[in-house]
Amino acid sequence: MTSAMCAFERCSFLVTGGAGFIGSHLVQELVSRGHSVRVLDNFSTGRRENLAHLTGRVEVVDADVRDAGVVREAVRDIDYVLHQAALPSVTRSVHDPVSSNEVNVAGTLNVLVAARDEGVRRVVYASSSSVYGDSPLLPKQEDMPTNPLSPYAVSKLAGENYCRSFYRVYGLPTVCLRYFNVFGMRQDPNSQYAAVIPRFIVAALGGQPLRVYGDGTQSRDFTYVANVVRANLLACVQDAAIGQVINVACGERHSLLDLIGLLRCILQRDLIVDYERARPGDVQHSLADITRAREVLGYDVVADFKTGLTRTAEWYRENVVR
């Protein structure tokens, strides 16, 4: 990290959704740096085993962000809030838009109100590249019009607007990070809403076909989780980031066919691919412009797609599929 990272030596952090995939990586990094960490998670999608190696070093509050009173208690005596808690997945939101709104919008509002009232130094909000929708214009720049296609994307954009409003109206320092297709160790491959990379890796290691929705030419700016961790920590200390929306990605795009080809090389095995009808709400192409992240955060890519995919595949080989 940069020298600016010493600006919050031994501070207190609340990580909402801290037992989830991304949240647990943030918690691990913060603990390794000597910070005091509290996790708020209801374990609906988070997993206790994601924090098992940190037992005794992290305070865990088993509760829901929809409970305003509990959120207020969780935020008390906290310096920084990394708000990761959400009901993820475009597909899930299409099936159940009400729950997505309650958790992702009302839950975010609870966090912001509590942070404002408790005098938190900064809230860093996990948003999503899905807010850009299906505009053919690439790369996606933060100032371009948003066009959310799914209820999930609508909910993440609403959270962004609440964050920016709380900064303008109440002076609560907030930063919104738009994640682009994050992947890495501890991502759940078994959920029906699982992201494509863990699903593909586990299927490949188990000798099962890889299910592709559409023709496989759809592309994403796949972002290894270490890059997201770096961006979150930088967002806590760079004052120029306050009130901003910032893309977090690698600035490269790869199709699903590219992903499959790279997995063949990494895993050294033939892969069977089953093609199915494209899913409603899915975006065809996604690519981030990360200029703002570099200029405002001092962000750079710490692990590119191939490096991250290799590390991830090895972790699943050792820990999930044996």
Angle at 297 between CA 147 and CA 301, to 5 degrees: 85
pLDDT tens, 29-56? 999 999 999 999 999 999 999 999 999 9
Homologous superfamily (CATH) of 8-182+223-251+287-302 is: NAD(P)-binding Rossmann-like Domain (3.40.50.720)
Which of 152, 167, 179, 299 is flagged as catalytic? 152
Show the tokens assigned to 156: 């993440």
pLDDT tens, 202-243? 999 999 999 999 999 999 999 999 999 999 999 999 999 999
The three-state secondary structure class of 143 is coil
Per-residue pLDDT, averaged over 13-23, amounts to 97
Beta strands in the chain (DSSP E): 12-16, 36-41, 59-62, 80-83, 122-128, 174-179, 182-183, 210-213, 219-220, 223-224, 245-248, 254-255, 273-276
pLDDT tens, 140-165? 999 999 999 899 999 999 999 999 99
What is the predicted pLDDT for the residue at 9?
74
193 catalytic? Reply is no
What is the predicted pLDDT for the residue at 3?
37
Per-residue pLDDT, averaged over 109-136, amounts to 96
> Mean pLDDT score of the chain, rounded to an integer?
93
For the chain, the structural domain boundaries read 8-182+223-251+287-302
Is there a contact between 40 and 13 (Cβ–Cβ < 8 Å)? no
pTM score of the predicted model? 0.93
Cα–Cα nearest to 310, from 215, 190, 185: 185
